[in-house]
Chain A
């Protein structure tokens, strides 16, 4: 005799938490408030889904976001209505710009109060609409399990992105119970994101690539999101292609490999930008020809035939026309390409490719990631190189936004995907510390480093308290130059060094501040102090160590593309220009 399956009766709040559990969610980051009290009570009454209490909702979104960047799975945020929701907006926009899967659950006032300007009411669906992949409001508590499933499905499939689920308080009443069943899968007639790429186009792409004399493989964040780093590396190796990564794509191809020619774009390497400009075939994989990559689009790579793989058709030919477009997930497309290559054989003109590599080696010698080594002054680049050595190139590195972010991208050589975690599209200062926390929480045994500056770190400094509560032993590398460095650099270059509001007076004593929160603070003011300080910091395994490192305030990030120029129009130092 078969037993009749009787679904359990649960309240809306309990169904929400149960659905998260059934989705495999371990941590939810958030902050309680009036509209989500029923949900928090449901959280309290179980142990499987754990809640992490931040000090500001923005930090909750960055924690969830960084977890997603490191793991590939959607992070989950829980905030209350009104200010709770609006505080999450910056983090949602950050995730949206970098296509990061995230599910944000926002409380809302009671259904009957919506539209009355009730206490802590805000139209979160309206506010978040331009910065989400999708958003939805719960109208009937019985719909909650299916809506949670739909939210995760949309957030994680196709081109990923954040999804906001708005839940009025009366949808979660503890005394109203509904049969709970979590759907196994979901289909939407209006959304079918799993494109494998057109085989004919893939064949054409391979033929185009094999006919190249000066090919460049340009790969972006899509390779990391699409978990296609292995396929990308295999293809690049088989064809001996020069590989450049975007800021979002660092780690997709091992940076210590000789075929890696560095990051490209505004602060890309000399050889990457030269190779792009002079290429005859550009093979773009999961990259979107962002304005920080292309420089002036009219002057972009004049002789190149462009092959472009992207899951989002809207990214293809948006700013740069693709000659061979392929709409599809990068992994199956690259697999199919490898398969076809196997059959077809490598017919690249090896003599031409050899010449091309010679040319690239010559370019490499021009700049080669050089910076001035000093014994009297700490150079930020030298600090990043030292951090790379001390972490054996294997840390998760999060960053804030500014000069330090570019130095980290240029000088920390990422050999693995999902290790470099930064806000590329939106450029959100305040991202670094909560991001490091999100990664550390999930990977407690991994080394997690936050590279930041004294400007950015103060945008979410309150999270040092959260770190204490959850024992998050991240290492903070504060490249303190006393200025908003990137703003200052632009003011040096374009405004005759008129430092309009880029000098930060009255900085706190960061060492004492770290200690006040119960952490360890170390100040480094000269080059000889750096090595012992890093040694000490990384030896304190379970401790948060705040390294306040005083670096040269005059340093600029180079190379830097000349605004309005081609890919290869660059400043190479304060006195050299291409």
Chain B
């Protein structure tokens, strides 16, 4: 099963390498990983999407906890949460194609953030599923490049991952 694990990490060099190394050493999967400093510059927040049965996920959270630099963590997928991912897609857009691409972007509430005579770059934000649906919708269009941020997530309501 897919899980989204959010981790508060000391913002120190080597801390991220320890997290990534743990996954490699113990043979766990990483579907996506994002990391950046929080409002408190001494801490980073990392969101990690992984897969595994309950036993594997339990080991992943326990092993992450053991890393000295991990301050706190939560499995967001255990309760109500919001997840978002940002994608930028550069597509070939000339002639009739230009209108078609723009229509698709509008349907997905995407924004065209860069224009050239032959290309559009579209930004789409949403769940990973939505981004995949958008790629699907562009099947008649030539995609030149895509870049995805990986998933970020946060709990709904008052629940918060903080010190």
Q: Are B71 and A134 in contact (CB under 8 A)?
A: no
Q: Are B69 and A190 in contact (CB under 8 A)?
A: yes
B contact residues around A134 at 8 Å (CB): 68
Asked if B31 is at the interface of the complex by the 8 Å CB criterion, the answer is no
Asked if A545 is at the interface of the complex by the 8 Å CB criterion, the answer is no
Q: Known contacts being A190-B69, A191-B68, is A314 close to B59, with CB within 8 Å?
A: yes
- Residue tally, chain B, CB below 8 Å to A: 19
Stretch at the interface among B17-25, B93-101, B126-134, B149-157: B17-25
Q: Are B68 and A188 in contact (CB under 8 A)?
A: yes
Please name 29 pairs of A and B residues whose Cβ atoms are closer than 8 Å in the assembled complex, sorted by A.
A125-B14, A126-B17, A129-B14, A129-B17, A129-B18, A129-B21, A130-B21, A130-B25, A133-B68, A134-B68, A135-B14, A154-B68, A188-B68, A189-B163, A190-B68, A190-B69, A190-B70, A190-B71, A191-B68, A312-B66, A313-B62, A313-B65, A314-B59, A314-B62, A314-B63, A314-B65, A317-B55, A317-B58, A318-B59
State A126–B71 Cα separation when bound (angstroms): 21
A127: shortest Cβ distance to chain B, in Å? 11
Chain A, residue nearest B13 (CB): A137
Known contacts A188-B68, A312-B66, A313-B62; 19 additional CB pairs below 8 A are: A125-B14, A126-B17, A129-B17, A129-B21, A130-B21, A130-B25, A134-B68, A135-B14, A137-B14, A154-B68, A189-B163, A190-B10, A190-B68, A190-B71, A313-B65, A314-B59, A314-B63, A314-B65, A318-B59
* Per-position binary interface string of chain B over residues 55-94, scored 1 when its CB falls under 8 Å from any chain A CB and 0 otherwise: 1001100110110111100000000000000000000000
B contact residues around A190 at 8 Å (CB): 10, 68-71
A contact residues around B59 at 8 Å (CB): 314, 318
State A154–B10 Cα separation when bound (angstroms): 16
A7: shortest Cβ distance to chain B, in Å? 26
Q: B14, B63, B71 — which one has the most chain A CB atoms within 10 A of its CB?
A: B14
- Tell me the chain A residues, 368-407 only, with Cβ under 8 Å from chain B: none
* Per-position binary interface string of chain A over residues 167-203, scored 1 when its CB falls under 8 Å from any chain B CB and 0 otherwise: 0000000000000000000001111000000000000
A contact residues around B63 at 8 Å (CB): 314
B49: shortest Cβ distance to chain A, in Å? 21
* Per-position binary interface string of chain A over residues 304-348, scored 1 when its CB falls under 8 Å from any chain B CB and 0 otherwise: 000000001110011000000000000000000000000000000
State A160–B14 Cα separation when bound (angstroms): 21
Interface of A is mostly: mixed
B contact residues around A130 at 8 Å (CB): 21, 25
A147: shortest Cβ distance to chain B, in Å? 12
A contact residues around B66 at 8 Å (CB): 312, 314
State A130–B21 Cα separation when bound (angstroms): 7
- Tell me the chain A residues, 475-526 only, with Cβ under 8 Å from chain B: none
A contact residues around B65 at 8 Å (CB): 313-314
B contact residues around A188 at 8 Å (CB): 68
State A129–B14 Cα separation when bound (angstroms): 9
- Tell me the chain B residues, 18-60 only, with Cβ under 8 Å from chain A: 18, 21, 25, 55, 58-59
B contact residues around A312 at 8 Å (CB): 66
A contact residues around B62 at 8 Å (CB): 313-314
State A313–B58 Cα separation when bound (angstroms): 10
B contact residues around A126 at 8 Å (CB): 17
A contact residues around B163 at 8 Å (CB): 189
B contact residues around A125 at 8 Å (CB): 14
State A112–B150 Cα separation when bound (angstroms): 34
Chain B, residue nearest A136 (CB): B14
A477: shortest Cβ distance to chain B, in Å? 37
Q: A126, A133, A137, A190 — which one has the most chain B CB atoms within 10 A of its CB?
A: A190
State A130–B14 Cα separation when bound (angstroms): 12
A contact residues around B13 at 8 Å (CB): 137
B147: shortest Cβ distance to chain A, in Å? 28
